[in-house]
Amino acid sequence: MKIKNICCIGAGYVGGPTMAVIAQKCPNLDVTVVDINEKRIAAWNDPDVENIPIYEPGLSEIVKEARGRNLFFSTDVDTAIDKADMIFISVNTPTKTYGIGKGMAADLKWIELCARQIAEVAKNDKIIVEKSTLPVRTAAALKDILDNTGNGVKFQILSNPEFLAEGTAVEDLEKPDRVLIGGDIDTPEGKEAMEALVSIYASWVPKENILTTNVWSSELSKLTANAFLAQRVSSINAMSELCEKTGADVNEVAKAVGMDSRVGPKFLKASVGFGGSCFQKDILNLVYIAKTFGLNEVADYWEQVIIMNDHQKRRFAANIVKTLYNTVSGKKIAILGWAFKKDTNDTRESAAIYVTDYLLNEQAEILVYDPKVKPEQVYADLEYLCTHSNEEIRERVKVVTSAEEACKDAHAIAVLTEWDEFKELDWKEVYENMLKPAFLFDGRRLLNRKVMENIGFEFYTIGN
Ligand code: NAD
Ligand code: UGA
């Protein structure tokens, strides 16, 4: 099957960068990314390419090259569906906030809406690609909806989960460790659909890195990959607390352990806790799936990864209060970094939100600085928790435009995102402009203890 027109429903952190790279690597394909969010599409179409809605190193250059040539952004979902030979679904699949499975299961409302819209609009056969992260066996539900239109249109459903990490999305898309494609391997039509998608990726990914499996393995592999990655972070974070009690240094432990080639060195950085839109939601989803099959031990095993992560965020915040003589009421605390990791403007599930909320409970005055996150996002993140009134949040939390401004006259600083620019700050000057004793809490192990202590800071970090 020859693919000429591709459409992607969902112009978010995955849909946008993924389609931009496909358009760049396959100039013979026409790629249209659609979304119901008009503001987001307008931002993707902004003549100044620096204003695209997602910050990722290298992304604006790719958009500049491909946009208007073979990469298009639109709110006209129906037209894009109608034209497309292959449709990627890359909409959000957050944790359910209501009803059965509340707080655990993935909310598949938006996925189902897409399937119904495709079923309604499609007039010729199409390949549907699950790009969103979905519970295992979702493809069966999609197939059910798509196969019951009664208009004779045939659909092939593929699972093609995305493994990019934010902040390195372009790099990850250009050189993926692997591309995973799940499909109906038992029928010629299924195989043909898989081959069509393989040949798109093969334009730039070596064939041996393109893995084909059955649909269920593909869906489950995505949840498994995120669970394993998050588990490593929770494992090293658990050790960080033990290091603090014993005089061991978590970086030294991580290095010693990671040099064992069976363990490997990556993803062993102790931190204030993992954030991001997916680790927590995907593990909760896994826990929920295990529970629905009655696999309680499996569910409990994975749930512990989340419990440890919540503990890590809480104990970091509690340590600030304890160290500042058990009260932060009315004290100024500078939060350096709001994004869940460096090089992204995404703040979903960022540890900074929870640490700040904890400090607000203790009536602290908060000053936030992040190089890429807009003030409205900071307020929206705190308001979403519904633990403090909007008035109180706006009164107690100020978002400023430089780290120096945030730290001026502060009682304490908490570094919560590992932005490179925080390493380069003139820490001596920061120290001089703070109240004394000047407390510095490094939630990212970004700063050197000796250097900071020599300047005069009371320095606290994770894991030693
Ligand atoms: P996102 O919230 O940034 O983007 C999703 C977009 O889909 C939104 O702009 C929303 O308006 C749009 N949308 C929702 N329903 C729609 C509909 N019916 N029609 C048209 N548009 C619709 O989400 P994201 O971070 O891009 O994640 C998307 C999926 O990819 C999720 O399942 C996530 O788990 C998965 N994933 C995310 C990452 C990541 O790093 N963010 C990485 C791998 C996989
Ligand atoms: C993660 C996975 O790495 C991607 O492969 C996956 O596609 C994606 O989730 C997804 O499904 O959404 P992402 O959340 O964007 O990507 O970023 P990560 O680099 O994995 O970082 C997640 C969180 O863990 C961050 O808060 C980061 O600071 C923290 N982390 C990571 C640590 O605290 N220590 C580490 O050693 C690594």
CA of 369 to the centre of ligand 2 (A): 22
Higher-confidence position of 148 and 28: 28
**Span from the CA of 286 to the centroid of ligand 1 (angstroms):** 19
Q: Retrieve residue 212's tokens.
A: 């084909």
- Span from the CA of 248 to the centroid of ligand 1 (angstroms): 41
Catalytic residue among 222, 281, 341, 408: 222
CB 328 within 8 A of CB 361: no
3-state SS assignment for residue 354: helix
Give pLDDT, residue 299.
Answer: 98
Q: Tell me, yes or no, if the two domains 5-205 and 216-464 fold the same way.
A: yes
Residue 327 has pLDDT above 90, yes or no: yes
CA-nearest residue, atom 21 of ligand 1: 35
Looking at residue 1, its pLDDT comes to 74
Q: Give the model's pLDDT for residue 37.
A: 98
Crossing angle between the packed helical segments 296-323 and 215-246, to the nearest 10 degrees: 40
Helix, strand, coil percentages in the chain from 3-state DSSP, rounded to 5 = 45, 15, 40
Residue nearest to atom 10 of ligand 1 (CA): 10
User: Rounded to an integer, what distance in angstroms lies between the CA atom of residue 37 and that of residue 324?
Assistant: 44
Cα–Cα nearest to 290, from 11, 101, 77, 13: 101
Q: Give the Cα separation of 27 and 155 in Å (integer).
A: 25
Catalytic residue check, 241: no
3-state secondary structure of 3: coil
- Find the 100 Cα to ligand 2 centroid distance in Å: 28
- CA distances, 346 to each of 147, 246, 269 (Å): 37, 35, 20
Q: Among residues 379, 220, 382, which one has the least CA distance to residue 290?
A: 220
Would you say residue 175 has pLDDT above 80? yes
32-66 pLDDT, tens digit per residue, is 999 999 999 999 999 999 999 999 999 999 999 99
pLDDT in tens, 403-434: 999 999 999 999 999 999 999 999 999 999 99
162 included as an active-site residue: yes
Interval 91-108 mean pLDDT: 95
- pLDDT category at 275 given cuts 50, 70, 90 is very high
From the CA of 447, how far away is ligand 2's center (Å)?
21
- The neighbour count for residue 463, using CB atoms within 10 Å, is 22
Q: What is the residue-averaged pLDDT of the chain?
A: 97
Mean pLDDT along residues 219-240: 98
Instruction: Please identify which residue in the block is written with the tokens 């915040």.
Output: 317
For the chain, what percent of residues have pLDDT higher than 90? 98
Name every protein residue with a CB atom under 6 angstroms from any ligand 2 atom: 133, 162-166, 226, 229, 233, 267-269, 271, 274-279, 340-341
CB atoms within 10 A of CB 234: 22
Q: For the chain, which residues make up each domain, given as ranges? A: 5-205, 216-464
Query: Predicted confidence band at 332 (pLDDT cuts at 50, 70, 90)?
Result: very high
Average pLDDT over residues 215-235: 97
Q: What is the pLDDT of residue 76?
A: 98
Q: What would the two tokens of residue 209 be?
A: 């890195």
Average pLDDT over residues 242-253: 97
Establish whether residue 32 lines the binding site of ligand 1, counting it when its CB lies within 6 angstroms of any ligand atom. no
C-beta 33 within 6 A of ligand 1? no
Give the residue among 35, 67, 37, 70 at the shortest CA–CA distance from 50: 67
Name 83's Cβ contacts closer than 8 Å, sequence gap at least 6.
Answer: 5, 7, 32
- For residues 5 and 14, give the distance between their C-alpha atoms in angstroms, rounded to a whole number: 19
To the query of whether residue 195 is one of the catalytic residues in this protein, the response is: no
Instruction: Give the full edge-to-edge strand order of the sheet including 5-9.
Output: 71-74, 30-34, 5-9, 86-89, 126-130, 155-159, 179-183, 210-214
Dmax of the chain from CA atoms?
75
Q: How many residues does the chain have?
A: 464
- The whole-angstrom separation of Cα 266 and Cα 420 is 19
**CA-based nearest residue to 54, from 20, 79, 24, 28:** 20
Distance 187 CA to ligand 1 centre (A): 30
Mean pLDDT along residues 322-342: 98
- 341: phi then psi, degrees, rounded to nearest 5: -160, 170
Closest ligand 2 atom to 167 CA: 15
What the block records as the tokens of 289 is: 């799936």
Average pLDDT value for residue range 54-80: 97
Catalytic residue among 56, 130, 162, 166: 162
Does domain 5-205 fall under CATH 3.40.50.720? My reply is: yes
2 pLDDT band, cuts 50/70/90, is confident
Q: What string of DSSP letters covers 187-218?
A: SHHHHHHHHHHHHHHTTTS-GGGEEEEEHHHH
- 216-464: CATH topology is Rossmann fold (3.40.50)
Burial 136-154 (b: 16+ CB within 10 A, else e): bebbebbbebbeeeeeebe
Which pLDDT score is estimated for 149? 81
Give the span between the Cα atoms of 32 and 345, in whole angstroms.
24
The active-site residue out of 278, 332, 365, 418 is: 278
Q: What is the dihedral of CA 142, 185, 172, 352, to 10 degrees?
A: 40
Give, in order, the Cα–Cα distances in Å from 90 to each of 132, 189, 201, 306. Answer: 5, 23, 17, 25
* Contact criterion met (CB below 8 Å) for 166 and 276: yes
Nearest CA, atom 6, ligand 1? 10
